[in-house]
Amino acid sequence: MFCVVKSKTIKYVLVVLLATIILAISINGAVSAEVFFGYSTRKVPIYCVDTTEQQVAISFDAAWGADKTKQIVDICKEYNVRATFFLVGFWVDKYADMVKYIDDNGFEIGTHSNTHPDMAKLSTEAIDQELTKCSDLITNITGKKVELFRAPFGSYNNSLLDIAESKGLKTIQWDVDSLDWKGLSAEAITIRVLNGVKNGSIILCHNNSDHIVEALPMILDRLIKKGYKVGAVGDLIYKDNYTIDRTGLQKSTI
């Protein structure tokens, strides 16, 4: 027995299916092919690292203000801790002496874009300029190649990650957000970090938040007493032979 399906019915079904696929792809600006095919084509940056070692990284984004930056560097040095500073281009331009101070004291510097836009909304040409200009500014001061990138607002898409990768930049997110930029007290910042941290965590702080100078000694002291080695992002992540799963967990393939 054969079933005859009218062409109008077929067209209707195809239109509905296509609309559903488009909607799924549009969710949160991400490609959501996994809804239909069980996998995702969306790329993901490094949020944290899969490791059995009690090792974490601490990082500071710098876009506005610099009056607390030297104190942050000096506090980290007191605790024998190396950290990563993600710097915006216009900050580098304005505080070149502080960039040099960060570098001269052995700290790692990554790019945080040139003008701090939402880079997921930019054209490929604009993304390229944002990454190139800031990296060049940093290199001109430090003489070192920039190897790490953090997207402003944590906003990214495949195009951004591809362009960053083509420039030799690893895109770094975080899995522990101190929320220091919200004006939290030093105690609240410390509690957030300690409650969220685990082996392989990347901690996000800001160089000019209200209470970071008061919170940082407490954070470092308690992490070290818990047995954690605290360092820069580059000390934690795998440089090659790795995969990144859909949650942003970087895993060694060796």
Determine whether 112 is an active site residue.
Answer: no
CA 65/CA 19 separation, integer angstroms = 47
Distances (CA, A) of 80 to 6, 106, 109, 242: 75, 11, 17, 28
Active-site residue (options: 61, 112, 116, 211): 61
Active-site residue (options: 116, 175, 180, 206): 206
CA 189/CA 205 separation, integer angstroms = 9
Determine whether 206 is an active site residue.
Answer: yes
Q: Enumerate the active-site residues.
A: 61, 206
